[in-house]
Chains A and B, each alone.
With several copies, the nearest count.
Chain A
């Protein structure tokens, strides 16, 4: 049976998707044969550049965020697979500059492996790089070492905030410090309702019974806290936000950035209804939402579910979050 997807050759998904992406956004980005997505109007060379890497299949992430105010280069792997070290090294070489490179890696085995190898080689070539690894998934529970916590949609907030800092002309040390401050104050929890189809193999990424959902499931079907009956939007919002608040230690009076990132098939309608539930929960606890984003930033094909992200904000982080950006997937004026 054919997959219910609009594709041509399942082995050419990434190339064709990047081709279409470059055609649709040729005014902002270009795609090289090594699958580097770069800006067509490069950032001035005296500013810190941002490089990231990750598998395809999560559109608009990651490459949708290449552009003014966010990323300089994104290295694209195959569907759900890290790109190899040679391409990442090439990206770091292209990003090389005196101001230095901020290298953002999501904590997934392949990405870390590939990123570290490329980083080692690049540093041996004298490229000035600071690495930041995002690992803000709290599904594994409190006390889990950073190395065992996955990077989810938090990377996008980090691209935005660190990208704005870089665009503002801050030094690599400053940009990295800002990125780490955000990194240490953010958390994400995912929930899945319906599985997605792997677009190359046609297989379901995981199974979930008709009357169940699963909180904590990762963006490739990695197990979460176990299935539960389907809960209402308000209950789901409260359970998830309660855990996030605990994880980042948010207290009454704190100011949060909240992101509800749709996984694919979950509608914007649902996300707004959940957002309403999040607001109710936080109101009860005296915590303020000072900034938010509701929509699809990092998807998992047509999976139903979403990722809920929260970060404690200070004035500087908030200003950077609100600073202008202009990328294929996101523009702030």
Chain B
């Protein structure tokens, strides 16, 4: 895609409507794979993760649809809250917090450069960490998110947003893949011992898909 995109300025920043496109593309990624998420949760948990993610994405998009004129900051805060209401279990609170955190990092309307985009995603994860002790290796969403954050932190403002998200999404995908070899320390899967070996964590898979959606949106635009 590099080289096919627009002006240098367009490459270095994204505007709020591109961020909403990122969110919608993430929702599309989840919709396309929800059966996989359910299947993974059927092995390692209680089989409701696909449904929880679908409901979360419905809530996200319905919130965005309902406030087309609003500030991105506010849209993300409302979306996060809606996700929390729509999906129970572990997904709703954590994913909702992720979106609320993303929103909290934003200032007033305007373009986001690579640093702001990186800060937005990192803040989402930081807020989640206020509510979970899970670290790398615990077979949770954090196994996708924390490698992505590490990647984001390794890059400075010079990296264009699309490239930055591409790299983060790749780290998240790799992190999710590595959960296959992990025993679970959190959530319902914890109680299953080594029955979960060989299966990726559903939450980590979801978060990798979300970041893949973010990257896809910018790399297509």
Contacts and interface: CB of A to CB of B under 8 A. Distances in A.
Let me know if chains A and B touch directly in the complex, using CB atoms closer than 8 Å.
yes
Contacts of B190: 109, 148
B48 A113 contact: no
User: Which residue among B51, B93, B191, B192 has the maximum number of chain A CB atoms within 10 Å of its CB?
Assistant: B93
Contacts, number: 82
A99 B193 CA distance: 44
Interface string A259-289: 0000000000000000000000000000000
Contacts of A220: 46, 188
B55 to A, nearest CB: 9
A117 B97 contact: yes
A149 to B, nearest CB: 11
A85 B93 contact: yes
A109 B191 contact: no
B47 interface: yes
Contact of A82 (B89, B97, B192): B89
Contact of B84 (A55, A84, A109, A222): A84
Q: How large is the interface on A (under 10, 10 to 19, 20 to 34, 35 or more residues)?
A: 20 to 34
A82 B87 CA distance: 9
Nearest to B87: A84
B131 interface: yes
Interface string B174-204: 0000000000001110111101000000000
A113 B132 contact: yes
Interface in A113-157: 113-114, 116-117, 148
B132 A55 contact: no
Given A218-B191, A223-B195, A86 B81 contact: yes
B103 interface: no
Contacts of B85: 84, 86-87
A23 to B, nearest CB: 24
Contact of B131 (A82, A117, A222): A117
Contacts of A113: 90, 93-94, 131-132
A222 B195 CA distance: 11
Q: How large is the interface on B (under 10, 10 to 19, 20 to 34, 35 or more residues)?
A: 20 to 34
B45 to A, nearest CB: 9
A240 B84 CA distance: 39
A81 B88 CA distance: 5
B147 interface: no
Contacts of A330: none
B111 interface: no
21 contacts: A77-B88, A77-B89, A78-B48, A79-B48, A82-B88, A82-B89, A82-B90, A84-B84, A84-B85, A84-B87, A84-B93, A85-B84, A86-B81, A87-B85, A109-B90, A109-B186, A117-B93, A198-B46, A203-B42, A222-B191, A223-B195
Interface of A: 55, 77-87, 109-110, 113-114, 116-117, 148, 198, 200-201, 203, 205, 218, 220-223
Q: Which 9 A-B pairs have the closest CB atoms?
A: A81-B88, A222-B191, A84-B84, A81-B89, A77-B88, A110-B89, A84-B92, A113-B93, A86-B85
Interface of B: 42, 46-48, 51-52, 81, 84-90, 92-94, 96-97, 131-132, 186-188, 190-193, 195
